Structure 1
Amino acid sequence: MTDQTPAPIVRNVADRHRYEILVADESAGFTAYRDRGEQRVFYHTKIHEAFSGRGLASQLVREALNDVRAAGKRVVPVCPYVKKFLSKHEEFADVTDAVTPEILQWLDAELK
């Protein structure tokens, strides 16, 4: 018997400031961001427990970063998972900016 589960789909839900990953039309998780000029500041990634262990976080973040690149924006990895992903995937170094105290202060104000 073969697995008939459709491939996961990643979509940008701009009005909610996040990318979501869907498995069979069910939300499996998200990575949240805020835009700061030409920077997309990622601050939280979550895969729901029922979907953990499938590599979905990696797929989600990779596709989100590809979308950021295609949009001509830059990535700021405040989220620990995104930061860890970037440390292992140097192909995104050209679109990555460092997290600074100024960005953290700005993000804190944005999220209040």
Structure 2
Amino acid sequence: MSQPAPTPVVRRVDARHRYEILVDDKAAGFTAYRDRDDRRVFFHTEIDDAYAGQGLASILVREALDDVRSAGLRIVPVCPYVAKFLKKHEEYADLADEVTPEVVEWLDGALKR
């Protein structure tokens, strides 16, 4: 008899500006952000290859957006995965602001790239 799959855990790590998803207490991926006023600008989401195909990115982004909502913030989906998630999950559309050139320029400066 096989054991049930472990339940992934998502945690916000403010010091690293990201939400991490863990499986069996092992880091499986993250979505990175920077805060600008009342907006959380998501710019990169990554799941480790060892955990690919398990739906973890969707769980991660859903829980991150739920956290943003509960904090009374808005989001800017610079990250292509977060933008794609929003198109499929209209229940989060009220949180999203448009990605503008000004936001991208600010993000580049914040990330020093």
Taking structure 2 as the reference length, what is the TM-score of the superposition? 0.97
Task: Provide the residue aligned with 2:88 in structure 1.
Answer: 88
Structure 1 consecutive aligned stretches of length 4 or more whose deviation exceeds 4 Å:
none
Task: Provide the residue aligned with 2:44 in structure 1.
Answer: 44
CA-based RMSD of the aligned residues comes to: 0.7
Distance 1:3 1:58 in 2: 23
Q: Give the CA deviation at 1:74.
A: 0.2
Identity over aligned pairs, percent: 66
Structure 1: 5+ residue stretches without partners: none
Residues 1:65 and 2:60 are matched in the alignment: no
Task: Provide the residue aligned with 2:98 in structure 1.
Answer: 98
> Is the Cα–Cα contact under 8 Å of residues 5 and 24 in structure 1 kept in the other structure?
no
SS in 2 for 1:81: helix
**Residue type of the alignment partner of 2:78:** V
Q: How many residues align?
A: 112
1:2-34 superposed Cα distances (whole Å, 9 cap, x missing partner)? 324430000000000000000000000000000
Task: Provide the residue aligned with 1:110 in structure 2.
Answer: 110
Residues 1:17 and 2:17 are matched in the alignment: yes
**Residue type of the alignment partner of 1:52:** A
**Residue type of the alignment partner of 2:24:** A
